[in-house]
Chain A
Amino acid sequence: MSQREGKVHTILRKIWKDRFGYVLLVPALIVFILFRTYPLVKAIIYSFYEVNPVGGDLYTGLTNYREMLSTPEFIGSIGVTFLFTIVTVPLMLVVALSLALACSYKPLRGKGFFKAIFFMPFILSWVVVGIIWKWYFSAKFGVVNIFLNTVGIPPQNWLVDTRLTLLCVIFVTLWKLSGLFMVIFAANLQMINPELYDAASIDGAGSLQKFRYVTIYQLMPAIVTSIILGTIFFFRTFTIIFIMTGGDPAGTTNLLAYYIYTLGLESFEFGYAFVGITFMFMVVSMILIFQIILTREKRAVTVYG
């Protein structure tokens, strides 16, 4: 017992000795806790309350949860969000990996130029991108229909047709973000030791086998990272929906982040919005825990946008 007390004592003494180091953390901790942690915790706690913005919140237990789970829009929104994420992640992997392989192909000239162009949409704002493509997909004057018309495909009602709108959102998401993932793959491709390919050749591997057993195998950590990063990115899609579709037609693009926003700041049903937020937080946490287990890394993926 006294030994343990002694240990606690040494730890406390070390913390006291390092107090200046902890002081340096304080400004960052204040900003992060007040403007990230606190809103999140508030949302989780008040998901059990009937929230009244003017004052006088009422504890209602699981009522919000029960009511949300019997709301068809919420269930539909979860469904659409998962569908969107599950379709977009593999498409993004294929597009980004192909672009990265093409841009890393030795005899090709202008690799840097192509890479720079492909990455560029990432630094544009979602608002600008959303507005451009909203116009492009508009039925009458949209460039997409004009272009399709010149190659003989009849015009489509892109943002009205329930079968097509989600596809438009997926397309624009890929347009905006593939470059980021391409850059991740390209950087990892460069780090593959060329001797591995020589060794594979000596063992008599063909180019397809080399691709599978050397390239893909060596890229595996980057692929896992990109899947997780992409899942988080696509899962939280908001602005493009706000600008391009408003969740329409018939809720087919009513992604969760957008639905929560409309619940909270358009209908002022904060309690319901917080149930949605708690759900989103749980999904994101599970993805992160999954990643930490999968890659056995202490750090989480660290890209934002």
Chain B
Amino acid sequence: MASRFQRKVLPLIPLYILLIAIALLIIYPCVWMVLTPFKTSSEVWSTSLRSLIPRHFSWELYREVLEVATVPIWVYIKNSLVTSLGSVAINVTACILAAYALARRRLIGENLFILFFTAMMIIPQQVIAVPLYLVLNDMKLLDTYSGVILSLSAEGLSIVVLYRFFREIPQELIDAAKVDGATEFDIIRRIVIPLGWPAVTTVILLQFIASWNAFIIPLVSTISQEKYTLQVIMAYFSTSLYVKFRLIMAVGTIITIPSILIYVLTQRKIIEGMTAGALKE
């Protein structure tokens, strides 16, 4: 028994130590962010490593953020939810239709369309942000939910993920439905969406996280503070980082909870979706 331990486990110990150290480097800042609002203000300024864990847990600050009107946090939560869910609805609906057409209809110019959508995905949001401000202004969409939602909806990853999945659906099923007199919309609703459900849920989750975390688009397309999303208001606070520190960390925690929850529950889906385009087939 001892020899087996020596042979198999002992050489792995340095590797474990290294990996645990890196894992701590990732987890520590997150835990620290969640715990900071529980601290008293003097503990925040403490310069000892032990001050990670607050001595007396106080819900005071979280309660202040959520209940008292120092920060109208629910307005920002609502703005973030409306824009994220809106962009999920538009992006996923439009992309299901387009991906179905490209994957199953053998259209002339299929590759050209795919190239267009991938190119539009690669063009970074950061590149189009400044002219987007002018375009939204021309369309009278500046500082509106519709402007933010539509700008966030133009994400091409959904099309690529769905396109790949829809190509694998057996043609016989579609043909059989056609013989039974199903319309194209019936086929999408009764065959393509149910059979492509794993891919559909993946793009819903990815699009939600992407728009929930989006920064530059809500930054350029909102003007009045009551239209800011959580990300924008947090960046706005960060200019007075040292004054409002515990409050900022409380908002940061609130921002992070949905993404972490989704990630913990559907981790494999997210990772598979994100690497969809980067795998050799």
Residues of A within 8 A of B (CB): 11, 14-15, 18, 20-22, 24-25, 27-29, 31-32, 34-40, 42-43, 46, 51, 53, 99, 102-103, 105, 107-108, 114-128, 130-136, 138, 140-141, 143, 146-147, 150, 175, 180, 183-184, 187-188, 191, 221-222, 225-226, 229, 232, 235-236, 238-239, 242-243, 257, 260-261, 263-265, 270, 273-274, 277, 280-281, 284, 288, 298-305
Contact = CB atoms under 8 A, between A and B. Distances in A.
B98 A27 contact: yes
A146 B48 contact: yes
Dominant secondary structure at the A interface: helix
Contact of B128 (A43, A119, A128): A43
B175 to A, nearest CB: 16
B128 A39 contact: yes
B32 A143 contact: yes
Contact of B120 (A37, A105, A141, A180): A37
B63 interface: no
A302 B128 contact: no
Contact of A146 (B49, B215, B262): B49
12 contacts: A37-B120, A42-B131, A42-B135, A102-B19, A116-B267, A117-B23, A132-B29, A226-B278, A236-B127, A261-B216, A265-B133, A280-B127
B152 to A, nearest CB: 9
B98 A124 contact: no
Nearest to B206: A304
Given A27-B97, A302-B157, A135 B241 contact: yes
B98 A25 contact: yes
Interface stretch (B53-61, B70-78, B102-110, B194-202): B102-110
Contacts of B19: 102-103, 114
Nearest to A236: B124
B47 A32 contact: no
A125 B107 contact: no
B108 A11 contact: yes
Interface in B197-229: 209-210, 212-213, 215-216, 220
Contacts of A27: 93-94, 97-98
Given A128-B256, A265-B133, A175 B151 contact: no
A11 B238 CA distance: 58
Nearest to B252: A128
Contacts of A264: 129-130, 133
B114 interface: yes
B101 A24 contact: yes
A117 B126 CA distance: 28
A24 B97 contact: yes
Given A107-B12, A280-B124, A298-B111, 12 more contacts: A31-B150, A51-B134, A108-B15, A127-B231, A131-B248, A146-B47, A183-B275, A184-B279, A229-B278, A281-B123, A288-B122, A299-B277
Given A28-B159, A183-B275, A21 B107 contact: yes
B255 interface: yes
B275 A273 contact: no
